[in-house]
Amino acid sequence: MGKLKKIASDGLIFSNPTLRLVLGTCPTLALTTAASNGIGMGLAVTFVLICSNVLISLLKNVIPNTVRIPAFILIIATFVTVVKLVMDKFLPDLYSSLGVYLPLIVVNCIILGRAESFAFKNPVFDSALDGLFMGLGFTGAMTLMGAVREILSNGSIFDISIWNANSFSIGFFGSSAGAFLTYGLFIAIFNYVVNKIQKKLAKKEAK
């Protein structure tokens, strides 16, 4: 139980790939113009992350240490191809809005990072959980940023209009400059909150 809790809290909060480790920044900046894009991309990455973590963990005794990186990339590229074909067939709208960033999941540092630092050293079940929670941490951060940017620039959330965008909207947050600003402020705020939590936890432990 303690292990599960640790993997979950690491993935979602303390080592959140987007906001703490600042990995996989390209899709985060590009696809957070709308909350729905954030969820779509997040789930695609989560799927690839779980599958590649499981497979790499299973093969960790077979893959020679020297060629592990090419082997990881091959495994990841295979799963990304699967996601791409499935999404092209069943979710064509999402497929076209993710565009070039879908094949770019292959070079997403989160996935390669977890393969290298977790899946290659840990048992299968733990690796699957790590993939799940890291993926959810990524999805959560992307959706939240997408929601904030969508509300500010478009007056809507998940394409549901909240107020009339003609009367009030800040187009800046929909632009590329707005993406950098939102991301920067998100990291700063998240760091602040996590530092507070860590201090509290340390105090509790001291007692």
Partner 1 sequence: MGTLLLIALTATFINNFVVVQFLGICPFLGVSKDTKSAFGMGVAVTFIMTLTCLITYPIYTSILVPLGLEYLEIIVFIFVIASLVQMIESVLKKFSPTLYNSMGIYLPLITTNCAVLGVAELVIDVGTAEALGLASMGLLNSVAYGFFGGIGFLISIVIMSGLREKLKNAPFNKHLKGFPIAMITATFIAMAFYVFSMISL
Applying CB under 8 A, the residues found at the interface with partner 1 are: 22-23, 25-27, 29-30, 69-70, 73-74, 77-78, 80-81, 84-85, 99-100, 103-104, 106-109, 112, 175-181, 183-185, 187-189, 191-192, 195
- Least separation in angstroms between CB 37 and partner 1: 13
Of the two residues 33 and 143, which places its CB atom closer to partner 1 in the complex?
Answer: 33
CB proximity list for 131: less than 8 A, separation 6 or greater:
46, 49, 50, 51, 52, 53, 54, 114, 119
- Least separation in angstroms between CB 168 and partner 1: 21
Of the two residues 58 and 85, which places its CB atom closer to partner 1 in the complex?
Answer: 85
Q: Which of 189, 180, 132 is closest to 12 using CA atoms?
A: 132
CB proximity list for 197: less than 8 A, separation 6 or greater:
13
Cβ(41)–Cβ(98) under 8 Å? yes
CB proximity list for 151: less than 8 A, separation 6 or greater:
157, 162
- Least separation in angstroms between CB 100 and partner 1: 5
Of the two residues 92 and 99, which places its CB atom closer to partner 1 in the complex?
Answer: 99
